[in-house]
Structures are given as structure tokens and as C-alpha cells.
Amino acid sequence: MSNTLHHKLATMLDVVYPATDTGLLADQLLETMALARDTSAPPAHQNNWDEADVMLITYADTVQRTGEKPLQTLNRFLDDCLKDTVSAVHILPFFPYSSDDGFSVMDYLAVNESHGDWEDIERIAGDYKLMADLVINHMSARSRWFENFRKRIDPGKDYFFEARPSDDLSAVVRPRTSPLLNAVQTEDGERYVWCTFSEDQVDLNFANPQVLNEFVGIIRYYLERGVTIFRLDAVAFLWKEVGTSSIHLQQTHELIKILRLLIEHHTPESVVITETNVPNRENLTYFGNANEAHVIYNFSLPPLLINTLVTGNCRHLKTWLMSMPPAQMGTTYLNFIASHDGVGLRPTDGLLTEEEKLRLINTMESFGGKVSYRRTPDGKDQPYEMNVALFDALKGTAEGGADDWQLQRFICAHTVMLALEGIPAFYIHSLLGTENDHERVENTGRLRSINRGQWNLDTLEAELADPLSHHHNVFTELKRLIAIRRKQPAFHPNATQFTLHLGLQLFGFWRQSMRRDQSIFCIHNITDEVQQVSLGDINLIGTDQWQDLISGLKIDDLSGSLTLKPYQSVWLSNRE
């Protein structure tokens, strides 16, 4: 039958592997995934999330306790401190690795022994939706596959992408300044392997269908251990072709569709997230026609929101928000303003001018931040990301420098994120208000280490219990805001959103629940000065009772105004 899973899969494979017997390949992939040819499709446009979904992003070993495996400590911290706060956990690569804090994987099917074991992973997956990285673009140069590549034996012989120094690679887009090709001695002599990110991270060759089959097996293994959310790391670079940019190629998009098809037929509630740190228009293409990523990262949000709060001007943030298409049902955005990586600058292309980017970079450097670079096709080095802890990124303004509004500015940023269309994701160091870790940068020699510090659990618990500690104040207030958010139907990730026009000092938008039984007007003072909000400008319906969900203030006079203190936010709702 033409509508069977096998037929759909073979049709997609035809696009990627036209010279292959795709019927046989489809059979192989279905067998690897333990799926029948006629497995029923999950319901179309199904939202596997709601307003109660909030994600935590963390390394396996960010929180540690002497004598205990970090994954066990993480589980303890989740259960003791975040059980009623987060619904999902993204544990960054927890596999054996050789570099890049886990993103140079040596063995996809093993848990790093220093972190714990699969039982620890399954225990967390039993209580929280678990997101794991599928580091799909590249693998460690110290992996068994790559050792086999050197020896010219399987599995691995043809698993890595090769090119020649004489090839035309002038159009290749990549986020690093290191050499693209690296010479490797093999049993067949010298070969040049493609390394988008580093010499230790060798790009895989998906032109070989057996590489795809290997990853389908890896995915099934993760699903059987409780992983239901798959983050496709650096997936934009997956398919390489000499003479092209080797980014966003058609085969890459088709491979994402193939993986999604297999994943959601195996586990209908599963979710595929693409990690594509690129300009906004390019990022949006990974939704496809609601048949690629279920979720895409809102990569433009972090730099634009930080820029808004340090300049006191929301023009660019508002312009961007108005341009964002509502996600179709069954798809949504992942909203974040900090992560284990730096704050990307490519997502501001076309949104900030070069002068504005430079001003933002200079401001972050004045607050202790660093800057990483990438090499463009014309051989020039351009700023790629700002490396800074979010708490320190918001310690002041571009004009006035550091000030006394750091905590309020930081909370304001997260209040914006919590209310926007999409699923909110908190990097653990933001949830804890962790500052720049300059000592870790010196120890590792890597700029991204500035925001990848580690906490001793006993020390952390003491800080969180101390009312005089900013860590306590950050954690307590963010948990309070999250608790409010999780009860509001108008904050469903797919609820209606419209941008409000309240000038450049007030950033606002309106959310309405899908049943239209709740409206919330989200208004944020993004300056260090008091601002007035005319209630008449936001057209509150007179027959409804309105109150601010954050402060509890009830609105009695709809013709009056609200006074917002510096960086204060209000969520005006017509239901409690």
C-alpha cells in the first residue's frame, strides 16, 4: 500500500540515496528500529507539551557530592529542589568523550563511568521527560569507529567524510577558525578528514547509508532507556558536498524527516529538537512543513533580549517578535536565554546592525565576558558568540556600566522568557544565578568554560538557604514565577500571541488560551527608570476582572494607569 510506513520511508530515502535500493534500505531501517512495515502513524499535529512544561538544561556533573556519582547527585537535587518546578531535563552529553565537555563522543551506547550508569539515566527518565543529545554530525577521533577508519576495516572504514586540499571549499560555512581538513595516516596512506568543529571532532559521512542505520540503532537504544526528547546537535552541517556551503542542504532536511518518522512511529509522545545556531530565517526552515523538527531553539531570543535590557530599548526585540510566525500545532519553539554555549551572534544577522553588535560585545566584555570567533568563506574572522554567564551579562547597562539593578534585570529577562510562545528552558547556572567562572577558563583554556562551572551540593544548598545570598533570591523568585506560569492556559506553548505597541521602554505582548477563556497581557519595563502604562492603551475588557498574576494587584480602574518600577513585569490576567 502506498501509505504504509515502509512506502513513506522509501520515498524519503529516494531523495537522499537515489543510487541505492531504497526499498531494501527501508526494510533494514525498520528492522533496526523494530518497526513493522505497516506500523500506524501517530496523530498528526499533536502537541506533546502544555503550559506546565518547563525544561532544565544541565551537565551530568554540574552538581556534585563527595562519594556519590554525579547523576545520582543530580537526581537528588531534582527531587529535593525542583520536583514541582521542571517537567523535563536536558542532560548534556553523558557519554565517554575526549574533548568539548562531552560533544566529542567516543561511545554513543555507554554512560561515562565517572557520571554514573544507564540505571541512573533511567531513574531520572522515570520521573522527568528526558532530553538527550544525539551528537550526529561528528564523532571523537579517539572513538573505535575512527580507529577502524584508520585501519580501513568495518565498522568505520567509510563512516567519516573525506575531501582533498585541492577541492573547492571556498563556500563552506562553519563556526570555527580551525582548519577544515585534517591529514590522517591510515593503512591506505594519508587521507584528509572533514572537521567542522575541531581536529578531535571528525564529521560523519551520511552519504554512506550504513551510518544512518547505525544512528537509527542508537536512537532505538536511547528510546528503550527512557529518552523521549532528541536534540539533534549541529544538525545543519550534517550533509557535506564539495563546492557548496555544506550547510542546510536538502539531504540534511530529508534526513531529519526520516529520523522523525522513525522516532515518532516507535514512541508517539517523543519529540525531535534541532540545534541550529544560525540566522533566524535559516533556523525557521527546520520546522519544514510540520514534518521535520517538532521544536526549534529560539536562537535569536538570547542576544536580542540581552541587548534590550542593557540598552533600555526594545525596538529590535519587538520587530523580531512581530516577524515570528506562529508555530503550527504539533510544533513549537524552545525559549532560552542562556545555555552551556555562549550567546550566539549569527542569529542577530539582519536584526542588529554591525555597530549595534559591536556595542553589545563591548558591553559584555566590560562585564567580564569573552568573545569567540568563526572564519568566514573569505578568510576573515568574525565574532561568533559572546561567552558570559547570564547573571553577569545583565549586571548593568551599555551607557552606565554596572549598577544596583542586576537582580531585577535578571529576573525581568526570565519573566519575558516564561511568558513567550513556546516551551521555556532554564540553564541550571541561570536558575542558580551563577557568575562568570574565570578560574575555570584559565584551567581549561576554553572560553565556553566561563559558564560551565560546577557546584558542590552542600555548598549550593547552603547558598540557596541563605536569604542574604543572591543565589537564594534568584532561585526563589524564578521558582515562584515558574509555579505561576504552569497554571495558566494562556501560556500554553501554542496559545495565541500578539505584540503590543507601548513605546520603546515597555516590551509587551498578549497571550490568549486556545479555548479563549483566558487572556494575559505581559508588560515589562526594560529600563532603569520608572515607566507608566496607560491601561486604556491595552484595551482590557471592562466586563472582566483583571489582576496581576505576579504581584496579586487587582485592577479596579480600567481608565487609569500602572506604575512600573525599573525592570518590573506584570502579567495582567482575566482569571486567577
Model confidence at 528: pLDDT above 90? yes
Rounded to the nearest integer, the mean pLDDT of the chain is 97
Model confidence at 263: pLDDT above 60? yes
Range of the domain at 562: 496-573
User: Is residue 510 included in any domain, yes or no?
Assistant: yes
Q: Residue 404 annotated as binding?
A: no
| Mean pLDDT on 456-478 | 98
Which residues are known catalytic residues? 233
Domains in the chain: how many in total? 1
d(CA 220, CA 134): 12
Alpha-helix runs per DSSP H in 118-162: 118-127, 144-151
Under DSSP, is residue 226 helix (H, G, I), strand (E, B) or coil? coil
d(CA 147, CA 128): 36
Who contacts 354 (Cβ-Cβ below 8 Å, separation ≥6)? none
Model confidence at 1: pLDDT above 80? no
Conformational region of residue 99, where left means phi above 0, alpha means psi within -120 to 50, and beta covers everything else: beta
d(CA 62, CA 76): 13
Q: Residue 575 annotated as binding?
A: no
d(CA 213, CA 415): 43
| Mean pLDDT on 7-27 | 97
User: Is residue 219 included in any domain, yes or no?
Assistant: no
Alpha-helix runs per DSSP H in 312-353: 315-323
Burial class (CB in 10 A: 0-12, 13-18, 19+), 122: middle
Please tell me the predicted confidence (pLDDT) of residue 376: 85
Which phi and psi (to 5°) does residue 228 adopt? -125, -10
pLDDT band at 543 (very low <50, low <70, confident <90, very high): confident
Each residue's pLDDT tens digit, 209-245: 999 999 999 999 999 999 999 999 999 999 999 999 9
Helix/strand/coil (H, E, C) string of 37-48? CCCCCCCCCCCC
Model confidence at 559: pLDDT above 90? no
Please tell me the predicted confidence (pLDDT) of residue 539: 82
| Mean pLDDT on 480-505 | 98
User: Is residue 551 included in any domain, yes or no?
Assistant: yes
Please tell me the predicted confidence (pLDDT) of residue 252: 98
Label residues 264-299 b or e (16+ Cβ within 10 Å = b): bbbbeebbbbbbbbbbbebbbbbbeeebbbbbbbbb
Please tell me the predicted confidence (pLDDT) of residue 536: 86
Q: Residue 231 annotated as binding?
A: yes
Each residue's pLDDT tens digit, 21-66: 999 999 999 999 999 999 999 999 999 999 999 999 999 999 999 9
Percent of the chain at pLDDT exceeding 90: 95
Under DSSP, is residue 571 helix (H, G, I), strand (E, B) or coil? strand
Model confidence at 142: pLDDT above 80? yes
Concatenating the DSSP letter of every residue in 249-300 gives -HHHHHHHHHHHHHHHHH-TT-EEEE---S-HHHHHGGGTTTTS-SEEE-TT
Model confidence at 436: pLDDT above 70? yes
**Which stretches does DSSP call E strand in 324-400?**
332-335, 343-344, 370-375, 381-387, 396-397
Please tell me the predicted confidence (pLDDT) of residue 576: 77
User: Is residue 550 included in any domain, yes or no?
Assistant: yes
Name the more confident of 543 and 395.
395
Cβ–Cβ < 8 Å for 46, 330: yes
User: Is residue 543 included in any domain, yes or no?
Assistant: yes
| 1-10, 43-52, 445-454, 515-524: least confidently modelled range | 1-10
User: Is residue 522 included in any domain, yes or no?
Assistant: yes
**Domain CATH code at residue 560:** 2.60.40.1180
Burial class (CB in 10 A: 0-12, 13-18, 19+), 225: middle
Each residue's pLDDT tens digit, 271-287: 999 999 999 999 999 99
State the residue for C-alpha cell 576573515: 380
pLDDT band at 2 (very low <50, low <70, confident <90, very high): low
d(CA 391, CA 389): 6
Under DSSP, is residue 560 helix (H, G, I), strand (E, B) or coil? coil
- Beta-strand relationship, 189-194 and 181-186: antiparallel
pLDDT band at 379 (very low <50, low <70, confident <90, very high): confident
Each residue's pLDDT tens digit, 71-116: 999 999 999 999 999 999 999 999 999 999 999 999 999 999 999 9
Q: Residue 233 annotated as binding?
A: yes
d(CA 86, CA 478): 11
Q: Residue 80 annotated as binding?
A: no
The separation between CA 304 and the C-alpha centre of its own chain, rounded to angstroms, equals 16
Measured from the Cβ of residue 115, the count of other Cβ atoms closer than 10 Å reads 23
| Of 121, 89, 115, the residue nearest 231 (C-alpha) | 89
User: Is residue 542 included in any domain, yes or no?
Assistant: yes
Q: Residue 100 annotated as binding?
A: yes
| 149-153, 355-359, 539-543, 547-551: least confidently modelled range | 539-543
User: Is residue 388 included in any domain, yes or no?
Assistant: no
Model confidence at 327: pLDDT above 60? yes
Q: Residue 65 annotated as binding?
A: no
Q: Residue 248 annotated as binding?
A: no
d(CA 562, CA 387): 37
Model confidence at 200: pLDDT above 60? yes
